[in-house]
Structure 1
Amino acid sequence: MRFRKITVTLATAAAALVSTLTLAPAAGASPVGTTSIGGSAVIQPIKVSDPQSVATVWDNCLHGQSCVFQNSNGGGLLWVVPSAGSFKLANYDMNNRISSVWNRSGGTLSLYDGSDYSGLLAQYGAYGPPINVPTGINDRASSVTLY
């Protein structure tokens, strides 16, 4: 009987955590906007205006997403890679602006120096931890792939 109570308590706590992560965006975080390129909407980064929000920006990267951040420790602008594929960061106002990443998706996130997916800088495996990019590649990525 004692084991059953622990299981129920852990299940309740897990449900509360999932609810909090998926329903509560960081305070002060708001979308910059969307633009249209070739008839399709472009998802713009989230801009954090409240200094208190910087510590919680990591929370905006949900399980299953691959996220890149303008500043170290998940701060500044946030861009969520919209799907598997190849993306030129200039189209998303993130060219040469990536300082931290969190790949919570099932694919491998690759950062490239060239906008044509040349000059591999780094790769981040599926479901990895949040991480600051190494100093030598900070603010150098011009394109990304997620496969």
Structure 2
Amino acid sequence: MTTDPDGPGDDGLLAALPAEERERLMALARDAVLPAGTRVFEEGEEADRFWIVRSGTVALDVQVPGRGAAVVETIGPGGLLGWSWLCPPRRWHLGAETREPTRAWEFDAAAVRDLCAERPVLGLALVTLVAETIGERLRATRTRLLDLYGPQESGRTP
């Protein structure tokens, strides 16, 4: 997958939006440059923004009592970082940290929700994309946690 470091690109999440709605959304975008090791957000904090990764990678993690953070997925170029901004109570369900220097389009959640209320076509498209992202993250989290904490093979054949 390729992305244009200076423009919105035509792949990833943005490619799924109708062109006119993509332009309206991108009018709200702010360029964000995040150094490697930046803690982008913490599980449980207010989710007041989201990002579309342009370059670099961001690890999503979940806090496991007594064990600390477990990485459940890594987001790369074209991926949506953060969906909790759309769904009440609007608190992050995971934490996120950059793995390498990362550039992203950053969006103010309240401004995007207002735009979606004005533009139902955009709202439906974003809700659909966020729902797909939630499903992917749930599957990835379940798989990763089963790998880490599920029953181990006993070495016996059934």
Q: TM-score, normalised by structure 2?
A: 0.30
Larger RCO, structure (CA 8 Å, separation 6 or more): 2
The structure richer in helix per residue is 2
